Amino acid sequence: MRILLVEDNLQLADSLTRALTQAGFAVDTMHNGADADHVLRTQDYALVILDLGLPKLDGWEVLKRLRGRRNQVPVLILTAHGSVEDRVKGLNLGADDYLAKPFELTELEARARALIRRSHGHDSAELACGPLCYDSVGRVFTLGGEMLSLTPREHAVLEVLMLRGGKAVSKEALSEKIFTLDQTSSPDAIEIYVHRLRKKLEGRGVAIVTLRGLGYLLEAKDAAA
C-alpha cells in the first residue's frame, strides 16, 4: 500500500522511508508542509504519516486543509511534543492516531497497518476470502492452509484486493496504490501481475474476477468449478 511520509528531519525521514519500504509499504516522502499539501491534492494514499513541526506549512495546517477537502485518508501524527493539549488538538482536527518521538519502528509499523485495515472496515488483523487468508501483521498469505509464494508486486496487488473486501478496484487505482511517485508505473503492468496471481489461485476456491468498466474483484469460488 502506498503511504505518504512527511518529515523535515532528513536523516529521520531517510531512516523511516527505508524501514517502511522494507516492511512492504510503497513510500512517498516529503520534507515540508507545502509539498505535502500539494501532493495530497493530486494523489491517493492509504495513509499519511505527518510530522507537525514542518517548514513552509506546519502539520496542523496540512491536516486542516486535508480534512477541509473532505479527504478521509487515515493520518498518523508524529511529533516531539506529546502533551495532552497537542494530542487533543490533532484529534480534533481529524487525526486518527498520535505517536510521540522517540518511538519504536515496530510500533509505528503496527499502528500504520491497523489504521489502514480499519479504514477499509477490518477490525481484525486476519483477513479471509474463501480459503485465502491474509495475516496483515506477519504479511503472509495462505491458501488452503499453505503459504502462498508471491513476488513483492503480486503481494501488493493481492493485498489491495483483499483489503477492499469484495469491492472492485480499477487498474489505474491499483497502479496508484502500489507504485511511488518516482517509480515508473503503468496500468498495463497490473494486467501482468493479475495474470500471474490468477494462475496461482486457479481452481483453489478463490479468483480475481474482471468486472467490465469497474476493474478487478477478489471473490470466493467453488473450488470444483
pLDDT digits (tens, 9 = 90+) for 124-173: 889 999 999 999 888 999 999 999 999 999 999 999 999 988 889 999 99
| Same-domain status, 110 and 30 | yes
Question: What pLDDT is recorded for position 121?
Answer: 86
Q: What's the whole-model pTM score? A: 0.88
| Same-domain status, 6 and 98 | yes
| Same-domain status, 91 and 161 | no
The domain of 77 spans: 2-119
Q: How many domains does the chain have?
A: 2
Assess whether pLDDT exceeds 80 at residue 86: no
Q: Dihedral sign, CA of 84, 88, 110, 65? A: negative
| Same-domain status, 167 and 138 | yes
| Same-domain status, 134 and 115 | no
| Same-domain status, 109 and 149 | no
Of 119, 144, 164, the one marking the end of a domain is 119
| Angstrom distance (rounded) from CA 25 to CA 38 | 21
Q: Is residue 189 part of a domain?
A: yes
Picking from 104, 140, 80, the residue whose alpha carbon sits closest to that of residue 16 is 104
Of 119, 153, 169, the one marking the end of a domain is 119
Assess whether pLDDT exceeds 60 at residue 208: yes
| Same-domain status, 110 and 167 | no
